[in-house]
Amino acid sequence: MRILGIDPGLRHLGWGVIDVEGSRLRHVANGTCDSDGAAELSLRLLSLHGQLTRVFETWRPDQAAIEKTFVNKDAVGTLKLGQARGVALLVPAQFGLSVGEYAPNQVKKTVVGVGHADKAQIQHMVKMQLPGAVLTGPDAADALAIAICHAHQSGMQRMKVRA
């Protein structure tokens, strides 16, 4: 099974692809889709859509996962993040995939063991769980963490179904 994790962002949208065979995880690829902060919002969203579509065309995932949006003090920033998240939900749907959604604390708890881990801890644990992975940046590392979380959560669901 191939999982594509997405860390939504308007400036930098991280993505990471892993393969899952039983309980084994293998890194496939990771990167970011970047938009020009000086461009109109609509053009930035269109750019992210095109870039993420190419990622899906290239890596052909079986499943997708995304981080849920958290609301922060900056309402305008939260709204823009939500619009980028909309693009990140749209692309997998265009490929016929449902999307697993995970709260940031759930991703951190699954990958690091604590729900309030920092970026450095996440990157370290992603490298530990995906030996040989070369991370292209913190947004890509977060996306791989989301994919790892989805692999563990969907594995738990499969075990419940069998019981």
Give CA–CA dist 63/97, Å, rounded: 6
Q: Is 67 a known active-site residue?
A: yes
- The one catalytic residue among 21, 74, 139, 142: 139
Distances (CA, A) of 160 to 109, 151, 155: 20, 14, 9
Burial class (CB within 10 angstroms; exposed 0-12, middle 13-18, buried 19+) of 124? middle
- The one catalytic residue among 21, 57, 67, 142: 67
* Strand 63-67, strand 99-102: pairing: parallel
Q: Is 57 a known active-site residue?
A: no
Q: Is 36 a known active-site residue?
A: no
Q: Select from 123, 153, 116 the least CA-distant residue to 137.
A: 123
Decide: 97 and 61 in contact? Cβ < 8 Å.
Answer: yes
Question: Is 101 within any annotated ligand binding site?
Answer: no
Half-sphere exposure of 123 (CA within 13 A, CB side): 10
Question: Is 118 within any annotated ligand binding site?
Answer: no
- The one catalytic residue among 7, 57, 118, 142: 7
Question: Is 40 within any annotated ligand binding site?
Answer: no
| Catalytic positions, written as ranges | 7, 67, 139
Q: Which residues are annotated as a binding site?
A: 7, 67, 139
Q: Which residues are annotated as a binding site for Mg(2+)?
A: 7, 67, 139
